[in-house]
Amino acid sequence: MGALSVVLALLATAGPGDLTGRTVVLDPGHNGANAAHPEIINRQVAIGGGRYKACNTTGTATPGGYTEARFTLNVARSAARILRRQGAEVVMTRRTNRGVGPCINRRARIGNRAHADAVVSIHADGGPAPGRGFHVIRPSWIEGLTDDIYDESLGLGRALRRAYEKRTGLPRATYLGGNGLVARSDLGGLRLSNVPAVFIETANMRNAADAARVRSPRFRRRIARGIADGVRRYLLAQPSPSR
């Protein structure tokens, strides 16, 4: 039986507690009070290799004003419930939409200190309005920073892309290359991670069709399910945890 067949068999037979012993960190992008505190979110923080970047940003919003910060927290909460029902320990980098930050370096530390088996940073893009769809961002190979998580993060990204696409029916982003899986070297959350980590841009909030979907509570549940399915698919393909 090939590796893919083994994974599919595990997915078919796994029960509600199949993620017991696994730790997942969900990182809902941005925060509701970021815009009111530019002195905090514009502060430069170290992201490794002598580079610096702003602590955080305000994120984007639909044309109707539904913010990325609110959306990502809604989705993360739903995905967390699904993963917990499957036995995983889920850590959130923020629990409300009333705060500022946390800064990108602190978000990375949360995943590292949890010794997470997988970290997913949840976002929605503010791309060109004619374009739509999702994409997953994985770390580029950076010696001394991401070289130790490169392969595992690539596997996580592929599993997430496949499951998310299947669950939501959303297309891979039509406005950029990479076939729905893009490597980036400039994101602090990936550069500073010591555990497998990816970002997912779940939709393009500036596109009318995508905006209608992210505003829909029912479709947000599909988005959350797609993320949870991807994490589960990845974790079930890894060796059983020893702890």
Kindly list the catalytic residues.
Answer: 201
171 by DSSP, 3-state: which?
coil
Residue 174 near residue 132, CB atoms below 8 Å: yes
Amino acid identity, position 108: A
Alpha-carbon span 153 to 163, nearest angstrom:
15
In the structure encoding, which two tokens stand for residue 135, read together? 């994409």
- Burial zone of 136 (CB within 10 Å; 0-12 exposed, 13-18 middle, 19+ buried): buried
Phi and psi (nearest 5°) for 164?
A: -65, -45
Alpha-carbon span 222 to 186, nearest angstrom:
29
Alpha-carbon span 11 to 101, nearest angstrom:
36
Amino acid identity, position 158: R
Number of helices and strands (H, E) in the chain? 8, 8
Alpha-carbon span 211 to 61, nearest angstrom:
9
Using alpha carbons, select from 161, 146, 173, 172 the residue that is nearest to residue 233. 161
